[in-house]
Homo-oligomer: A and B are copies of this chain.
């Protein structure tokens, strides 16, 4: 029996997850079978067109119907639409993969965690960069102690899509819908990676900036106010004694996808940049400098699933891996997902960064552990 899957959302992430499901049988044949059952969106024509391309059998504009009919919900809508369908699904023991950040508000995120705790279904948050082979290799190195005691963490995510002040307003510029700006959108990725690789964060000092206060309305009629941040900075202390700095911006001219992390320990170091996602640079103190590793060998993470050594994979493969691990968790065969609990912690840190900026104070992260 195939798992009936339903998606809310049919944009970039809809295509990424549909592609992932379509590719699993050839490359991860042991993954539980899925059936792209239903696609949900508001614009009937566009949903129909997307459903055809993405291979969905049915469409709807009613997420409650979708939740009723599927075994698995992929919640790929805007942040403020994460909570209700997710909670409904979990109450129905429908498994959920929810895009990041978990929610637009901390309150929503907490309700989602409560629903996940009550449910027998699997609930996962789609922090896909945990599934980059190079970053998994980094984690293996860190976990086996190759870096010694971690001292420095440096995470940044720089993109330029709103660098032009005339770039139209989007829902991410609206605090109501997005919750946070780049501290939520980009920052949540960086914070998740940092926690996953280095451990719990104790406190943060945040700084947010909005460089452009209003942008042209998408319909071309006047301007709309920007009520979220365009960029954030934060410094952090980790429970382990490491210190770190995080940065994110959607106005970083010249940067398309600089999702980079550098970690330095007493005996070694690693660094990674998503723009070169097949590569990891590694230093260990038997050496004199960073070594550039192409993480495409057969015994690298997921390396036996794709092509011979040296043949690069792309961004989308991170989503394939994520789907594989999520479906395995549903089948009870693995646990390599990002739980809602963890996603809530990321959300708390995002929120703490924003509050820290507001107060001009370093703030403890209440529940990280």
Contact = CB atoms under 8 A, between A and B. Distances in A.
B315 A315 contact: no
A26 interface: yes
Interface in A118-136: none
A294 B231 contact: no
B205 A362 contact: yes
B289 A293 contact: yes
A167 to B, nearest CB: 11
Contacts of A249: 151-152, 264
Interface string A207-218: 101010000000
A54 interface: yes
A317 B317 CA distance: 12
Nearest to A254: B283
Given A291-B290, A310-B159, A253 B275 contact: no
A194 to B, nearest CB: 14
A204 B276 CA distance: 33
Given A307-B12, A361-B360, A287 B291 contact: yes
A261 B223 CA distance: 35
Interface string A221-245: 0000000000101110100010111
The list of the 9 closest CB pairs from A to B, nearest first, reads A257-B310, A256-B310, A254-B283, A314-B314, A360-B362, A311-B315, A291-B291, A313-B314, A289-B292
A235 B149 CA distance: 25
Interface stretch (A76-84, A103-111, A265-273): A265-273
A30 to B, nearest CB: 11
Contact of A211 (B29, B241, B269): B241
Given A12-B308, A209-B241, 7 more contacts: A152-B158, A207-B362, A211-B266, A257-B312, A288-B297, A289-B291, A307-B316
Interface stretch (A14-22, A92-100, A168-176, A325-333): A14-22
Contact of A269 (B23, B234, B253, B256): B253
A293 B16 CA distance: 24
A70 interface: no
Contacts of A267: 253
Contacts of A269: 252-254
Interface of A: 12, 15-16, 18-19, 22-23, 25-27, 29, 52-55, 148-149, 151-152, 154, 156, 158-159, 161, 163, 165, 205, 207, 209, 211, 231, 233-235, 237, 241, 243-245, 247, 249, 251-257, 264-269, 274-278, 283, 285, 287-294, 296-297, 306-317, 360-362
Contacts of A254: 264, 268-269, 283, 285, 289-290
Given A235-B234, A253-B269, A292-B289, A207 B243 contact: yes
A226 to B, nearest CB: 14
Contact of A205 (B205, B278, B292): B205
A313 B310 contact: no
B275 A312 contact: yes
Nearest to A230: B151
A210 to B, nearest CB: 10
A136 to B, nearest CB: 15
A23 B25 contact: no
Contacts of A159: 310
A361 B156 CA distance: 23
A50 B278 CA distance: 27
Contacts of A290: 254, 291-292
